[in-house]
């Protein structure tokens, strides 16, 4: 397995790795250096991605507008891709894997995986950018289309979005593919059609239903994981209703979310537990009865939370909804506008634009969201029915077995599988 140097892209697939390991597969992982030891503690052969990959910072927080943030993010992934390619080649040489599982944002690793002619799969922990006649144009968080005008809007927006993304990415991706002996892509989204298996870590019920999913896509539902840490003893002393407020683990301008929540919610009779992740928790001054911490295992908090206020990262959003906790999403960029709109359409919470983020509006949004618990429960059920980590492992095993059967004799096929970036037994 090869992941981006980001917790939000590692944690959702830890249960998949654990399920594969439970089934007897040997795993090798390349991921961000700070998480290597915690992965080794789970029995996974983990090593850091190349230092050159991790050194390329996701710096979209330096941009002021959503389009400019998007351009910076794409530039980050393209720059990392140049270093991922030789990095994963070294890993393949070291492990001779039977199957490769690649993060959707690791474009260089995906190129090498495709060129290797080995069985491979891709996973996506956020909403897929694939166009569909049944869904609005991806990017700005548009409401689902209604009638001819809505469909016309989406046609125009989709063409503009695709043209911009293609212009920024396709030439560099095709140069990388040419170096690996692969043909060029016509559009950026063609990259998502290349893997024989594309695992989407969500489910219809949160994602929009579609009649035109590509054949390689398998929706397996939200897959959630927290480091095995005991709930802090002070959590039991916090009064109900408790609201969890979270910032992104990747730096962006979302610290205002914590400041406004601390102003708005305690006076309304709620206690606030805020996790700042990429921000220094000492920058905040919580009133008595509320707390600000850098990181706290969210699982224990969600057992009590009445609502989650977040930036709209798919990790915390789906983790909350899986626990049947409604959310208020204040999207600051990236894929968060799309996540926020899905929350609203699913009736599982409230979408609040950053420019409208005031103490009064946030307090009102939380009160409205708390009444959306039935919608959160519907999303939770849809994700559960999608199968989770076992369904993902089934799909990976099927892909590995399909290829292995053509290159191994029947006795070998029956006796062993290895999955991930893996060692042969």
* pLDDT, tens digit (0-9, with 9 covering 90-100), for 311-359: 989 999 999 999 999 999 999 888 899 999 999 999 999 999 999 999 9
Higher-pLDDT residue of 277 and 275 is: 275
Reply yes or no on domain 7-221+387-415 having CATH 3.40.50.2000. yes
The CA distance from 276 to 293, in Å, is: 6
Q: What is the pLDDT of residue 403?
A: 54
* pLDDT, tens digit (0-9, with 9 covering 90-100), for 172-219: 999 999 999 999 999 999 999 999 999 999 999 999 999 999 999 999
Residue 306 Cα to chain centre, angstroms: 23
The CA distance from 109 to 341, in Å, is: 31
217: part of which helix (H) or strand (E)? strand 217-219
How many Cα atoms are found within 13 Å in the side-chain-facing hemisphere of 282? 0
Q: What is the number of residues in the chain?
A: 425
The listed CATH number (3.40.50.2000, 3.40.50.720, 3.40.220.10, 3.40.50.300) that belongs to domain 233-383: 3.40.50.2000
The CA distance from 18 to 22, in Å, is: 6
Q: What is the pTM of this model?
A: 0.88
Q: In terms of C-beta density within 10 A (0-12 exposed, 13-18 middle, 19 or more buried), how is residue 276 classed?
A: buried
Nearest Cα residue to 99 out of 423, 403, 399, 419: 419
Please, where in the chain does CATH 3.40.50.2000 lie? 7-221+387-415, 233-383
Q: Does the structure show a pLDDT above 60 at 423?
A: no
């Amino acid at each position: 397995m090869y992941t981006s140097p980001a917790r939000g892209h590692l944690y959702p697939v830890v249960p998949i790795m654990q399920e594969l390991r439970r089934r007897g597969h040997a795993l090798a992982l390349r991921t961000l250096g700070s998480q290597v030891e915690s992965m080794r503690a789970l029995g996974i052969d983990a090593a850091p991605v190349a230092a050159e990959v991790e050194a390329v910072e996701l710096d979209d927080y330096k941009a002021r507008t959503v389009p400019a943030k998007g351009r910076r993010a794409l530039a980050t992934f393209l720059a990392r891709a140049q270093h991922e390619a030789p990095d994963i080649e070294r890993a393949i040489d070291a492990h001779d894997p039977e199957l490769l599982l690649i993060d959707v944002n690791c474009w260089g690793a995906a190129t090498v995986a495709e060129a290797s002619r080995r069985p491979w799969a891709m996973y996506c922990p956020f909403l897929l950018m694939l166009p569909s006649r049944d869904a609005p144009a991806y990017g700005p968080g548009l409401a689902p289309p209604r009638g001819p005008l809505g469909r016309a809007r989406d046609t125009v927006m989709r063409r503009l979005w695709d043209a911009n993304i293609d212009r920024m990415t396709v030439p560099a991706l095709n140069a990388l593919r040419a170096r690996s002996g692969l043909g060029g892509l016509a559009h950026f989204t063609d990259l998502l059609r290349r893997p024989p298996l594309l695992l989407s870590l969500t489910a219809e019920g949160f994602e929009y239903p579609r009649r035109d999913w590509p054949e390689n896509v398998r929706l397996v539902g939200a897959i959630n994981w927290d480091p095995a840490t005991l709930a802090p003893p002070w959590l039991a002393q916090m009064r109900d209703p408790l609201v969890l407020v979270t910032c992104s683990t990747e730096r962006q301008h979302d610290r205002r979310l914590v400041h406004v929540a601390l102003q708005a919610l305690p006076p309304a009779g709620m206690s606030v537990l805020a996790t700042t992740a990429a921000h220094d928790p000492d920058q905040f001054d919580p009133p008595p009865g509320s707390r600000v911490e850098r990181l706290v295992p969210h699982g224990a908090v969600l057992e009590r939370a009445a609502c989650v206020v977040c930036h709209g990262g798919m990790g915390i959003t789906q983790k909350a909804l899986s626990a049947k906790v409604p959310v208020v999403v204040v999207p600051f960029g990236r894929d968060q506008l799309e996540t926020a709109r899905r929350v609203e359409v699913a009736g599982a919470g409230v979408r609040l634009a950053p420019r409208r983020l005031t103490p009064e509006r946030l307090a009102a949004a939380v009160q409205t969201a708390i009444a959306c618990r039935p919608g959160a429960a519907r999303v939770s059920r849809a994700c559960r029915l999608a199968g989770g980590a076992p369904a993902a492992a089934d799909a990976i095993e099927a892909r590995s077995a399909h290829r292995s059967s053509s290159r191994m004799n029947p006795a070998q096929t029956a006796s062993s599988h290895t999955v991930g970036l893996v060692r042969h037994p």
